[in-house]
Amino acid sequence: MALILGIGVGLFILAVVWTVTILLSIVFFRVDKLRPAAGALILFSALLTLILTLYPREGATPEPADIVVTDETFMGRVVLLAFFSFFTLLSLGLLFVFHWTEPITARPIKLTGY
């Protein structure tokens, strides 16, 4: 059984299908001539969802695994990811506070000859 992050491939297929459906439906609903196509696209996605959920390719019980693969560096990678995420958010916050919110003031005009 093929898994991505512990989740089956079918769930990712459904996520992609519904994401594309929602984006295209928004575009189709804005164009008057394509509104029926948006409804047809939603019905097609619903039909595909029903097919993928009612007719699974594999059994409900997973096959027993003989080899158990463990990741010894998982915790270290999670800590490193949390560290980098924290400082990325901190730097974006500081960029917003000190750069984007800095007021731009007009320079005084120097008048000569009066």
Mean pLDDT of 5-13: 77
Give the number of other CB atoms < 10 A from CB of residue 73: 8
Count Cβ atoms within 10 A of the Cβ of residue 1 and give its class: 0-12 exposed, 13-18 middle, 19 or more buried.
exposed
The larger pLDDT score, comparing residue 111 to residue 42, is at: 42
d(CA 9, CA 1): 9
- Per the structure block, which two tokens stand in for 10? 């079918």
Average pLDDT over the chain reads 84
d(CA 11, CA 6): 11
DSSP 23-81: HHHHHHHHSGGGHHHHHHHHHHHHHHHHHHHHS-SS-SSPPPPS-----TTHHHHHHHH
Mean pLDDT of 87-95: 93
> How confident is residue 20, by pLDDT bands cut at 50, 70 and 90?
very high
Q: What is the pLDDT of residue 38?
A: 87
> How confident is residue 59, by pLDDT bands cut at 50, 70 and 90?
low
